[in-house]
């Protein structure tokens, strides 16, 4: 679907229900962890191409237990593989949702900023002749003041 002006809203109840649903998802995944940057760097990575390799190694391990050391836990390997496959499937769905939320936020944010810039232009113009608007124009103008030699946010598009 191509982008068009977004006209939608979320009620406080909708937001609470969505948050509750996300909490329910998190409750179904109590084993999720957070890795530090260093931990992420040190781990052996398994990408899409590696999933087939791991699947084949599971089959090889299950069919040839006698060649593996007694301490090697084939069932743990199987469980890790199955969880990795399931999480990969979930991640794809979560990423699609995340991309849609991000794209919608970007579009509706752009709409709000564009309209706000129009309001600011009218307030600035009207503040020269309309009593009481000078303070409003100055307040809105705070958004565009340069910070310690940086270009103004209006010029940088922030």
Whether 26 is covered by a domain: the verdict is no
Whether 124 is covered by a domain: the verdict is yes
Whether 111 is covered by a domain: the verdict is yes
Number of domains observed in the structure of the chain = 1
In this predicted structure, what is the pLDDT of residue 144? 84
Whether 6 is covered by a domain: the verdict is no
The model's pLDDT over 101-150, given as tens digits with 9 standing for 90+, comes to: 999 999 999 999 999 999 999 999 999 999 989 999 999 999 888 665 55
DSSP string, 88-127: HHHHHHHHHHHHHHHHHHHHHHHHHHHHHHHHHHHHHHHH
pLDDT at 154 over 80: no
Tokens of 81: 């593989």
Whether 57 is covered by a domain: the verdict is yes
Q: Which domain holds residue 53?
A: 46-156
Whether 12 is covered by a domain: the verdict is no
Whether 120 is covered by a domain: the verdict is yes
The model's pLDDT over 79-107, given as tens digits with 9 standing for 90+, comes to: 999 999 999 999 999 999 999 999 999 99
In this predicted structure, what is the pLDDT of residue 4? 83
Nearest to 54 by CA among 31, 74, 29: 74
In this predicted structure, what is the pLDDT of residue 137? 92
pLDDT at 55 over 90: yes
Q: Confidence band (pLDDT; 50, 70, 90) for 31? A: very high
Whether 7 is covered by a domain: the verdict is no
Distance CA 80, CA 31 (A): 12
The distance in angstroms from the start CA to the end CA of the chain is 27
């Amino acid at each position: 679907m191509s982008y068009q002006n977004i006209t939608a809203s979320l009620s406080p109840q909708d937001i609470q229900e969505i948050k509750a649903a996300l909490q329910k998802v998190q409750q179904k995944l109590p084993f999720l962890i957070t890795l530090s940057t260093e931990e992420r760097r040190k781990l052996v990575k398994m990408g899409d191409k590696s999933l087939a390799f791991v699947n084949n190694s599971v089959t090889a391990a299950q069919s040839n237990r006698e060649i593996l050391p007694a301490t090697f836990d084939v069932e743990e390997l199987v469980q890790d593989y199955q969880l990795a496959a399931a999480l990969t499937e979930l991640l794809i769905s979560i990423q699609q949702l995340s991309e849609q939320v991000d794209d919608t936020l970007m579009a509706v944010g752009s709409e709000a900023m564009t309209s706000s810039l129009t309001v600011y232009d009218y307030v600035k113009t009207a503040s020269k002749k309309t009593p009481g608007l000078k303070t409003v124009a100055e307040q809105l103008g705070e958004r565009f003041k340069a910070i310690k030699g940086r270009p103004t946010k209006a010029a940088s598009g922030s």
